[in-house]
Amino acid sequence: MVKKPNTLKKAAREKEAEKAEKEAPAAAAEDGEASQQKKKRKAIPAKLRRDSKKKRKVEKKEQKTKEWDENNAAEDAEHLDRRVVVANLPTSATRQELRELFERCGTVHSARLFVNAKGVFRGVGFVTFESDAEFQEALKVNGTEFKKQTLRVEKADPPPKKAETSVFVGGLPFTAEEAKIRRHFKSCGDIKDVRMQEDRVRKKFNGVAFIQFKTEVAAQAALKLDRSAFGGRSLLVKMANPKKKPLPKQDKAEDKKKEGQTAQEKTTAGGEKRKALAEDGTATPKAAAVAEEAPAKKKTKKAADVAEDALEKKKTKKQKVADA
């Protein structure tokens, strides 16, 4: 093996040193950028990160609720005969994909995915068309493949009408008992449940009850007992209204801010009103005293200042006379 001369070794070492010197600023710049990025990430306050995470969570929940409402919205009665049910859809399918799949058959009035109460899609969708010809064309999609799954397409049955079996009963005596209420409405039909409402403060019956019958016919028969006598009082009987969906809660901070503003406005308005009444002479003695309280304090303060000024003037006059 031939050994390299010392001069060649020295030249190689010098080249490596020059190369290292050239690469050093670039490496330092990269390290500096990386450290700056880390600092930027660390600069975000923990509260801001928590707030943004909470905001994303709320937006996701709202989107999920909107999706649920749109998928389970009531269909127009005039389009129920032109609706197909699509089964064996992939669980990854979206409403937009379902719409695009059937748009080749004609104008799609609506496309919905059936999602249960827990928000889980079970591979079933409903598509409604504008005309009968388009509906018949959509039935031909039955047996075709979509995302490696064979679709089953057929005419959808109209949604079952929810039976209204509950009635509202008002004007009941506060001493009424459930057994007597059941006896009064027994002739209408079989009663499933009686719910007697209580006053939240007194924790006692407030004269309102909801009666649920087993059939809709029995509930309709109960309406005939409207204005009937019960315990010396006239009853109010009507169909119970379905429960309304609660409105979304506003931010607590905004609510507190609004409450503070309204309270301040009321206080200001009340003070101005009392003052105006006191000036007109139409206010009660108590209200007039309250209205005059603030200005009276100012007047007394001014009078004291005037008295002090007068005493100082007298002192200066006496001093001048004594000096003379």
CATH of 166-239, one of 3.30.70.330, 1.10.3720.10, 2.170.8.10, 3.30.465.10: 3.30.70.330
Write the DSSP assignment of 105-147 as a string of letters. Answer: TS-EEEEEEEE-TTS-EEEEEEEEESSHHHHHHHHTTTT-EET
* CATH architecture of residue range(s) 67-155: 2-Layer Sandwich (3.30)
Spatial separation of the C-alpha atoms in residues 112 and 96, rounded to whole Å: 9
> Tens digit of pLDDT for each residue in 138-167?
999 999 999 889 999 999 887 777 778 999
Q: Is the pLDDT of residue 319 over 70?
A: no
Instruction: Name the H helices within the chain.
Output: 6-43, 46-71, 95-102, 132-139, 178-185, 216-222, 252-280, 285-323
For 20-25, the CB contacts below 8 A with 24+ separation are none
> Tens digit of pLDDT for each residue in 187-244?
999 999 999 999 888 889 999 999 999 999 999 999 999 999 998 999 999 999 766 5
The more confidently predicted of residues 307 and 206 is: 206
Pairing of strands 205-213, 233-234: unpaired
Which residue's structure tokens are 């979509």? 146
Contact 153, 105 (CB under 8 A): no
Spatial separation of the C-alpha atoms in residues 50 and 45, rounded to whole Å: 9
Domain ranges for the chain? 67-155, 166-239, 252-307
Model pLDDT, residue 94: 86
Percentage of the chain beyond pLDDT 70 is 60
Which residue's structure tokens are 């079989």? 190
The more confidently predicted of residues 255 and 123 is: 123
Contact 102, 137 (CB under 8 A): no
- The domains spanning 67-155 and 166-239 adopt the same CATH topology: yes
Least confident stretch, 53-67, 160-174, 175-189: 53-67
> Tens digit of pLDDT for each residue in 17-51?
777 776 666 666 666 666 666 555 555 677 777 88
Average pLDDT over residues 122-129: 88
Supply the pTM of this predicted model: 0.39
Spatial separation of the C-alpha atoms in residues 220 and 218, rounded to whole Å: 5
Contact 111, 95 (CB under 8 A): yes
